[in-house]
Structure formats: C-alpha cells, structure tokens
Amino acid sequence: MLRSVQRLLVTADASKLSYLSARCYSVGTDFEAAQKNLKKLSEEPDVQMKLKIYSLFKQATQGDVTGSRPGMMDFAGRAKYDAWNGVKGTPKETAQQLYIDLVNSLIKEEEKLTAESQSNVEGLGGVNGLSISVEDNVFRIKLNRPEKFNALTWDMYRGITEALNFASKDKKTRVTVISAAGNYFCSGNDLSNFAVKRPEDVKELAEAGEKVLNAYVKAYIDHDKPLIGLINGPAIGISVTVLGLFDAVVASDKATFHTPFTSLGQSAEGCSSFTFPLLMGHAKAADVLLFGKKLSAHEALERNLVSEVVPDKTFAAEAEKRVFAYSQLPPESLRLNKVLVRDINRAALHKANDLECKLLVERWQSAECAAALQKFMTRKSK
C-alpha cells in the first residue's frame, strides 16, 4: 500500500492526486466516525475483540509498536503489547480501514442480534442472545448467539432465570424446552464475563457473579414443569452441569459434554457436585468434574446424563416429536408429579447450589483462574 502511494505521488497527474486526497479524506472521516460509533454499542465487546480494536487503533494512529514488552505480572499491559505487536508492519491507512471494517461488523452484528433476539411472550422482554417464545403448550427458550457458540453472557443468565421463573407459573404451557441455534449447544460461561479494567474490581465482580449464578441455578431447581433439553451439539461448562436438573435430555449423536473446570482454575456448579455422583457413581463423576473428561453423546447416555441419543440427521425432527408427545400429557398431573420427584432432593439441591457458588467466588479471584482466562483471551493475538 505504502509503495503504491509513493508510486502514485511520483507519477502524479492532477486526477490521480485528487483521487488520492479524496480517498485519504474519506478513510480519515470514516475512521473518526468509527471511533464515535464504537462508543454507541450497547454491549461492550469481549476482551479479545477489545484487544483487536486496540491494536488496530494504535497501529492506525502511531504505527509500529514501541517500547519493551511489560513484565509477567502486568497481564493487561502484556496482552495489549502482544496485540499491537501482532499487527506490526501494517501501514497506517490499512490499519484505519481494518479498524473501520471491524467496528462496522460489530455494529451490524449487534443490529442482527437485536432483530433476532426476541420474545413473543407477553410480560417478558427480549434479551440479546436469547429467543423466547410460546408455541401451543410449549414454552421455548432458545440460546441464540451462534457466532460465540452460545456462550452465556450475564444478560443471558438473567434472561434465562427470568424466563424459567415466568414459565414455571405460566398457565398456558405444559412443558419448558431449552434448545440452541447453530452447531454448538453452548460453550458455557462467556469467559469475558470476568474481564475487569482494574485488578481490585475482581472481588466485586465475583460477588455479583455469585448472585447471578445462584439465582440461575435456583430457577432450574424450582422449575415446576417438566424441563426438556435438546442438545444439538457440543455443550461445555454450566450448560452440562445443569443437565442433572432436567427431566428429559435428548442429544444429537454429535453432541459432546465437557466440564473443564480444573484446567480453568474454577470449580463445579449447577448442582453437579450433588447430581453427577448420583447419576454416574462417584468415580465416573470425578472423571468428568475433576479430571475434565469430555463425554461423547453415547458416554453421556451410559452415565445417565442424557435420556436419549438421536442421529444428528434426524435430531431436529425426532426431538420435536418427543416435545410434542410430552406436551400433550395432562398439565396438572405433569406439574404435580414433577414437584413430587423434585421435592425428594430439593433441600439438598439448594444446599449444593449455595456451597458451589460460595466456592466459585473464591476460585474466580484466584491466580489460577486469572491465568487460565488470560490464556483464553489472548490465544488469538499470539
């Protein structure tokens, strides 16, 4: 790019010069507009995206990275340095254009999400990343953030909690279904939920996170209707651990089940410390919760985590058949039986939820967890 600009200047005739200055002017104004538009996003981009934006901004305004790489303990400074260093050699005008394209793509993505994330349920608002609907006797909660493999943001946690509590009391529906858009079921907790500007904010964020998580899992424990999970693809973290609180789990044979808590410096949630040993026996539960064994759909069936595995080709149709059949059963009998089955362990489940959340607040503030999150966030900028 730089060479072609120089060549143009050397051989410039009037039209080439005016084209060049018009183009530079246009990129310059678009660059300023992109900086303003970035501030208008309703949701802050995740850490990885912020690093991409940062690196392009620095390259566009200052050129190649200067100074030396910050030390080990300066996580944020080091990540920023690495990101900027990653675009070294990119001419300033190209970096400006890349910055503009990136901001425009974020704005488009947000517009698309807002359009797709809706609720047709009176009394329940829409939440980015979720589609909530009532169809016949069925209350549907669909994870709808496929570009991030349906990772759960704080808003999605709150939205699902509210939807489950609403569905529990809803007189029009008989069963509640949780499903997902795209190839993944859910990649678990959005790891940028714990991104903080200052290390001293971690404690506050962890305590706020505990409240959100506790209410989220409580909504599953106290859900008064049969809860059906349709697991279309890989499931990670909390999307796996809460499965012990469902009444039917239909999985595609392409689904996998992974809880890599230990390697992330975290600990189990979703009442899995109680439900998994009950479902699988202690050794097999430890295999999954402590040692992070990833289960295939058939292994999950063999360990009682799912109730049925269906070939991927016919998954959508077969799953809907089950949902239809369950939703035709007498509603009062369904609800009373659900409450009866849950009451046997309800108190123990609440206790497990409280203990798990308490431990997680500690784990989220640990150096092991910070290092694992840092590794994930910066994996693409190296």
Q: How far apart are CA 40 and CA 90, in angstroms?
A: 27
Of the pair 31, 261, the CB lying nearest ligand COA is at: 261
Query: Of 30, 162, 170, 190, which lies in the binding site for ligand COA, with binding defined by CB under 6 A?
Result: 190
Binding ligand COA (rule: CB under 6 A), the pick from 81, 149, 194, 220 is: 149
Residue 164: CB minimum distance to ligand COA, A: 20
With 0-12 CB in 10 A as exposed, 13-18 as middle and 19+ as buried, what is 333? exposed
Out of 30, 31, 34, 48, the only residue in the binding site for ligand COA (CB under 6 A) is 48
Q: Does 269 bind ligand COA (CB under 6 A)?
A: no
- Closer residue to ligand COA in complex, CB, 117/187: 187
Q: How far, in Å, CA of 296 to CA of 254, rounded? A: 8
The residue from 34, 60, 163, 236 that contacts ligand COA (CB under 6 A) is 236
Q: How far is the CB of 272 from ligand COA (least distance, A)?
A: 11
Contacts of 292 (CB under 8 A, 6+ apart): 258, 259, 260, 261, 262, 263
- Least distance in Å: CB of 329 to ligand COA? 35
Cα–Cα distance measured from residue 193 to residue 158, given in angstroms and rounded to the nearest whole number: 13
One residue of 65, 87, 151, 227 binding ligand COA per CB under 6 A: 151
Position 182 contacts ligand COA (CB under 6 A): no
Q: Which of 92, 148, 294, 335 binds ligand COA (CB under 6 A)?
A: 148
- Helix ranges (H only) for 200-345 are 202-221, 238-241, 272-280, 282-289, 297-302, 315-327, 331-343
Interaction mask 321-360, ligand COA, x per CB under 6 A: ----------------------------------------
Residue nearest to ligand COA as judged by C-beta position:
237
Residue number, 188 or 244, with CB nearest to ligand COA: 188
> How would DSSP label each residue in 4-49?
HHHHHHHT--HHHHHHHHHHHHHHHHHHHHHHHHHHH-SSPPPHHH
Measured from the Cβ of residue 148, the count of other Cβ atoms closer than 10 Å reads 17
Closer by beta carbon to ligand COA, 5 or else 202:
202
Task: Give the C-alpha distances (Å, rounded to integers) separating 19 from 2, 22, 24, 61, 328.
Answer: 16, 5, 9, 22, 68
Query: What does the alpha-carbon distance between residue 356 and residue 261 come to, in Å, rounded to a whole number?
Result: 12
For the bound state, the minimum distance from the C-beta of residue 156 to ligand COA, rounded and expressed in Å, comes to 11
d(CA 4, CA 10): 10
| 188 scored as a contact of ligand COA (CB under 6 A) | yes
Chain residues that interact with ligand COA, rule: CB under 6 A: 46, 48-49, 148-149, 151, 187-192, 236-237, 260-261, 264, 266, 376
